[in-house]
Amino acid sequence: MPEILPRCATDAPPERPARAEHAPPAFAALDLGTNNCRLLIAAPGPGGFRVLDSFSRIVRLGEGLAQTGRLSDTAMDRAAAALRACADKLGRRPVRRLEAVATEACRRAENGPAFLARIAEETGLRLRIISAREEAELAMESCAPLLETVDRRALLFDIGGGSTEIAWIRVPAGAADGAPPDLIGYVSLPLGVVTLAERAGQDCFTERGFFEVVEEVATHLAEFDRIHRIGQEIRAGGVRLMGTSGTVTTLAGVAMALPRYRRPLVDGKTLDCEAADLALGDLFALGRKGLAEHPCVGPDRVEFVLPGCAVYAAIRRVWPTPRLTVADRGLREGMLTRMMRAERAAPRRRAR
């Protein structure tokens, strides 16, 4: 049997399907992003949920979108192949409820809705395009279990493929006992690792190009800071900086000197920001060849690591904090948490 994980779990080895009459109710969450297509199938478990199956593939759906305003035929074909694989997995296991969403690439692309209509016809999967606000709320939902009683506020960032979401969160007194946090404000910057990699290209591998991206992102963040006075709150104490993205988990893996990336060691880990900053410097010094050979990066992510690190460096510049909590969880976990909470609440509503 798979390990019971607290609240959230992802990308675990698939569980052998149980006999249909004894199988627990399964829920599925599908996230089609600018760079990745991810599926998570899970069943409720003590204190959270248990992963039954998962899928993740780099599809680069947003490739060329910034230049043309459209999803390219090649990118759509890659994503369609991944979504067919997801449909096959879902077809092999009864699922009580499925939530399937698309994010920044389909939000921005002129032909995004047409592509999703094609997917519905070819696979039966009906994906809905969610707003940037809902994207921030789902990330907050998945990361809420990492909050502690000492936290008054949390600043959560998610560096995605096509955009970066920043969520400014109020932590209620009972957060550690399951009370949901409140989203005070959010901002979605159209600057993600794919869009920056395409625009900056080789420049991010140079010191000058890297810091030009840092300056651009920091300018956007400073405006959000002026509205919410986040820096002032950080100086007053009780603010937790949290990051969820491939960029921040990679920084954690390097800072922890992991011989290979291991999610259980990284998810929920709180790092000294100085250690994360040193890891950023180490990644920058590796260059393209060194990044391709690094066990926490690999050849598929070479182009995206330094643009993501530039966004992280901008966040650190505008909001310097002593510690960073790393979350290897995101939209899928947030969707699953919501679905299972609604399932538990249904009998109580019927009883009333």
* Overall pTM surpassing 0.85 (yes/no): yes
* Rounded mean pLDDT, 58-73: 94
C-alpha pair distances (Å), 339 with each of 97, 135, 162, 342, 343? 8, 15, 26, 5, 6
pLDDT over 90, % of the chain: 80
Q: Which sign does the torsion angle of CA 277, 282, 288, 292 carry?
A: negative
Return d(Cα 340, Cα 27) in angstroms, integer: 8
Q: What is the pLDDT of residue 200?
A: 77
Three-state secondary structure call for residue 131: coil
Return d(Cα 242, Cα 328) in angstroms, integer: 11
Nearest to 101 by CA among 42, 188, 39, 31: 31
Start and end residues for every CATH 3.30.420.150 domain found in the chain: 133-331
Is 3 a residue whose pLDDT tops 60? no
| Superfamily of domain 5-130, CATH level 4 | ATPase, nucleotide binding domain (3.30.420.40)
Return d(Cα 181, Cα 147) in angstroms, integer: 9
Contact 329, 17 (CB under 8 A): no
pLDDT digit string (tens) for 295-346?
Answer: 999 898 999 999 999 999 999 999 999 999 999 999 999 999 999 988 887 6
Is 292 or 15 the better-scoring residue by pLDDT?
Answer: 292
pLDDT digit string (tens) for 289-302?
Answer: 999 999 999 898 99
Q: Which residue has the tokens 């992510």?
A: 301
Contact 42, 15 (CB under 8 A): no
Start and end residues for every CATH 3.30.420.40 domain found in the chain: 5-130
Nearest to 36 by CA among 9, 61, 54: 61
Contact 97, 340 (CB under 8 A): no
What fold, for 133-331? Nucleotidyltransferase; domain 5 (3.30.420)
